[in-house]
């Protein structure tokens, strides 16, 4: 029997843990023509949520396109990827895609081929002059509204890891995007990212081209009353029983983070399936120990890249919690030195998303890394 818990890759369909509230809200807002910025920490299932959302919107008759900004390293790559995904939202056959591309992007002399899976691919003749680059930008940024108007259907265009485009030199593309997108009446835009502070700055900083272009929405943990039944059903499918108390302990051990929960449950099933018919609380510690051992090479690499003081701060949080990290008692107990030194180390740890802050407490983002730190440096 296959392990019923999936982690480390995008999941959809029955493998997706229902986020009913978020799906309902996102569907309503985008269907109504609103634009959204979706902020999410890593490992919260953001991409799986977006693709499940787009499937739902497609089933309601809308055109949907997904652009993974993380795949691109230049403005030209991003524009080409946009053109391809937008056109494929309307046509999946190469011949029809070429006719549509010629109709909407004829100035760029589009050519259509197929990849190794048989899916149509689009290439554009952009030339090497600044003038041809400007033509590419203008044509592609106008494409979403042109397609939606031509097909008389709303288009929902989702950019994943949208903040990555800030790595491109200059702000010319951002400004051009805002200039075009604000005129589109038949397109809804979703901008998502796991570097929350960077994406939030794009939406809220007055000098940003995307200032107040859409409302902010934060993706939190899945409520336990939704997640626990999903996990119980999965364990039952894998021929294991689990009590409500053990489910609570699993969620607590994994900090309620979807990826961590699925990772822990995957290991629990691998540990117990075929040996027992019920998971007990003692099995959780065994599963965590197995995960820490499996991930040790990755944790060691991360640890080696940290400064000595950053390591010391992580040790202190792992041992004593992170609620009062600047208190004199905490600094003295863990020999952390000055307030400013801790502040500098935490700033970098927060930037690298090794640590996050919630409800006034600094916490290590990965509970298995926290366990590794505790056992390795005990």
Q: Do residues 69 and 164 make contact, with C-beta atoms less than 8 angstroms apart?
A: yes
Sheet with 36-40, edge to edge strand ranges: 63-68, 155-160, 187-193, 36-40, 215-219
Which pLDDT tens digit goes with each residue over 347-364? 999 999 999 988 889 999
Q: pLDDT digit string (tens) for 14-62?
A: 788 878 899 999 999 999 999 999 999 888 999 999 999 999 999 999 9
Interval 285-294 mean pLDDT: 96
**Which pLDDT score is estimated for 327?**
92
In the predicted structure, residue 5 carries a pLDDT above the cut 80: yes
Residues 54 and 189 in one domain: yes
Domain boundary among 305, 324, 358: 305
Number of domains the chain is built from? 3
Residues 55 and 196 in one domain: yes
**Domain identity same for 262 and 284:** yes
**Mean pLDDT on 289-310:** 96
3-state secondary structure of 55: helix
Q: Coil, strand or helix: which one is 128?
A: coil
What is the reported pLDDT for 90? 95
What's the whole-number average pLDDT of the chain?
A: 92
Is residue 6 in some structural domain?
no
**65-97, pLDDT tens digit by residue?**
999 999 999 999 999 999 999 999 999 888 999
Q: What share of the chain in percent tops pLDDT 90?
A: 74
Q: What is the pLDDT of residue 131?
A: 67
Please tell me which residue, 249 or 15, carries the higher pLDDT value. 249
> Are 294 and 330 part of one and the same domain?
no
- Provide the domain limits for residue 365: 306-378
Residue 164 has pLDDT above 70, yes or no: yes
Same domain, yes or no: 193 and 133:
yes
Answer whether residue 11 is part of any domain.
no
- Domain membership flag for residue 299: yes
Q: Are residues 178 and 246 in the same domain?
A: no
In a domain, 370, yes or no: yes
Last residue of a domain, one of 180, 196, 219: 219
CA atoms of 327 and 323, how far apart (whole Å):
9
Q: How far is CA 245 from the centre of its chain?
A: 30
pLDDT of residue 82: 95
- DSSP β-ladder status, 155-160 and 187-193: parallel
Q: Contact, 374 vs 319, CB < 8 A?
A: yes
pLDDT in tens, 318-377: 998 888 899 999 999 999 999 999 999 999 999 999 999 888 899 999 999 999 998 877
CATH code, domain with 288: 1.10.8
pLDDT band at 247 (very low <50, low <70, confident <90, very high): very high
At residue 313, does pLDDT exceed 70?
Answer: yes
> What would the pLDDT profile of 105-129 be if each residue is shown by its tens digit?
988 888 888 888 888 888 887 766 5
Which segment, 1-5, 266-270, 354-358, is predicted with the most confidence on average? 266-270
Helix (H) or strand (E) holding 238: none
* Calpha distance 52→18 (Å, rounded): 10
pLDDT for res 187: 98
**Could you say which of 252, 285, 305 is where a domain stops?**
305
């Amino acid at each position: 029997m296959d392990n019923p818990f999936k982690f480390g890759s995008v999941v959809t369909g029955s493998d997706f843990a229902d986020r009913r509230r978020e799906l309902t809200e996102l569907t309503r807002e985008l269907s109504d023509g609103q634009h959204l910025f979706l902020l999410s920490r890593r490992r919260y299932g953001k991409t799986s949520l977006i693709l499940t959302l787009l499937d739902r919107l497609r089933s309601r008759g809308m055109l949907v396109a997904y652009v993974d900004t993380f795949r691109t390293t230049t403005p030209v790559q991003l524009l080409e990827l946009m053109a391809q995904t937008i056109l494929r939202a309307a046509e999946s056959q190469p011949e029809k895609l070429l006719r549509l591309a010629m109709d909407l992007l004829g100035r760029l002399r589009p050519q259509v081929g197929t990849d190794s899976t048989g899916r149509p691919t689009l290439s554009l003749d952009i030339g090497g002059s600044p003038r041809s680059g400007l033509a590419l930008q203008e044509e592609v940024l106008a494409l979403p509204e042109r397609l939606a108007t031509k097909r008389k259907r709303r288009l929902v265009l989702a950019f994943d890891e949208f903040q990555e485009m800030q790595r491109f030199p200059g702000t010319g593309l951002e400004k051009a995007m805002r200039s075009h997108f604000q005129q589109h009446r038949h397109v809804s835009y979703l901008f998502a990212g796991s570097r929350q502070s960077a994406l939030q700055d794009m939406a809220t900083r007055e000098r940003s081209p995307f200032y107040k272009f859409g409302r902010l929405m934060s993706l939190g943990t899945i409520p336990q009353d939704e997640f626990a039944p999903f996990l119980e059903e999965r364990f039952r499918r894998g021929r294991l029983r689990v009590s409500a108390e053990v489910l609570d302990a699993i969620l607590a051990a994994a900090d309620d983070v979807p990826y961590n929960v699925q990772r822990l449950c995957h290991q629990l099933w691998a540990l117990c399936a075929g040996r027992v018919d019920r998971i007990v609380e003692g099995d959780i510690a065994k599963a965590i120990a197995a995960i820490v051992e499996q991930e040790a090479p990755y944790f060691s690499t991360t640890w080696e890249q940290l400064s000595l003081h950053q390591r010391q701060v992580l040790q202190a949080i792992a041992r004593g919690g992170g609620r009062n990290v600047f208190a004199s008692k905490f600094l003295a107990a863990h020999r952390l030195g000055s307030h400013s030194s801790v502040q500098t180390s935490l700033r970098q740890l927060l930037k690298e998303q090794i640590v996050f802050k919630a409800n006034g407490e600094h916490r290590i983002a990965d509970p298995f890394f926290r366990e590794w730190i505790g056992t390795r440096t005990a």
